[in-house]
């Protein structure tokens, strides 16, 4: 018989416990809502809550004190109403409107918003200045590359004939130094002219290498600027 009595009481105990938990949560909500309304009456005006006082009728609470709390909470909720409820999961429109109102009357939030706008404008301006800087740099680099390519082509126009000339001096040197070289071959070879030509080829080749390095650097810079 004791076991039957205990098993019958268990569902009732669980119902009471859940009812008390719900009452505590709703009471806390009402306290917070009341304080918010008192502190921000203009902002909170016209908004209801998503809680329906009729739902409190389903609570299972055994003591008079708990019943009195239920009546107080129900009275508060009935007085506030459910029109345009804030913090409702069904519709967030009223909550967003509450946020807009609060932001509009808060000098701190307005200051934060203005600072964010200024920062965003600064970022846009900085980005645009960077774009213009890169455009100007790219134009300058393209001009430099064009000039270097012309200079390199002119230099190569001088270098190639000199290389052919140096090769011919080398051929004459080999013929003059051959074991059975003719007197004509010996007279045809000019060691001084050979040396001068070699120096000129080396000088032009060095300039060519320098221009090619400059051209490669400019092209890399242009690629990075784009």
pLDDT band, residue 11 (cuts 50/70/90): low
Rounded to an integer, the average pLDDT of 25-44 is 94
Roughly what angle, to the nearest 10 degrees, separates helices 64-80 and 2-39?
Answer: 40
Rounded to an integer, the average pLDDT of 156-183 is 94
Task: Give the pLDDT of residue 2.
Answer: 43
pLDDT band, residue 3 (cuts 50/70/90): very low
Q: How far apart are CA 99 and CA 86, in angstroms?
A: 10
Per-residue pLDDT tens digits for 136-159: 999 999 999 999 999 999 999 999
Residue given tokens 């329906």 in the structure block: 52
Contact (Cβ atoms closer than 8 angstroms) between residue 198 and residue 166: yes
Task: Give the pLDDT of residue 104.
Answer: 85
């Amino acid at each position: 018989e004791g076991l039957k009595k205990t098993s019958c009481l268990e569902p009732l105990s669980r119902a009471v416990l859940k009812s008390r938990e719900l009452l505590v949560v709703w009471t806390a909500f009402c306290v917070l809502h009341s304080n918010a309304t008192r502190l921000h009456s203009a902002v909170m005006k016209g908004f209801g809550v998503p809680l329906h006082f009729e739902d409190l009728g389903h609570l299972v609470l055994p003591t008079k004190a708990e019943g009195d709390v239920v009546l107080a909470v129900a009275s508060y909720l009935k007085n506030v109403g459910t029109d345009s409820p804030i913090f409702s999961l069904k519709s967030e429109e009223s909550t967003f409107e509450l946020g807009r109102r609060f932001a509009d009357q808060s000098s701190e939030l307005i200051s934060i918003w203005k600072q964010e706008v200024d920062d965003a404008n600064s970022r846009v301006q900085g980005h645009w200045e960077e774009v213009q800087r890169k455009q100007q740099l790219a134009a300058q680099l393209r001009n430099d590359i064009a000039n270097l390519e012309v200079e390199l082509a002119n230099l190569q126009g001088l270098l190639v004939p000199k290389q052919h000339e140096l090769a011919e001096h080398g051929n004459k040197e080999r013929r003059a130094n051959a074991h059975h070289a003719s007197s004509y071959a010996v007279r045809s070879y000019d060691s001084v002219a050979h040396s001068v030509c070699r120096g000129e080829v080396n000088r032009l080749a060095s300039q060519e290498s320098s221009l090619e390095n400059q051209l490669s650097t400019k092209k890399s810079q242009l690629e990075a600027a784009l």
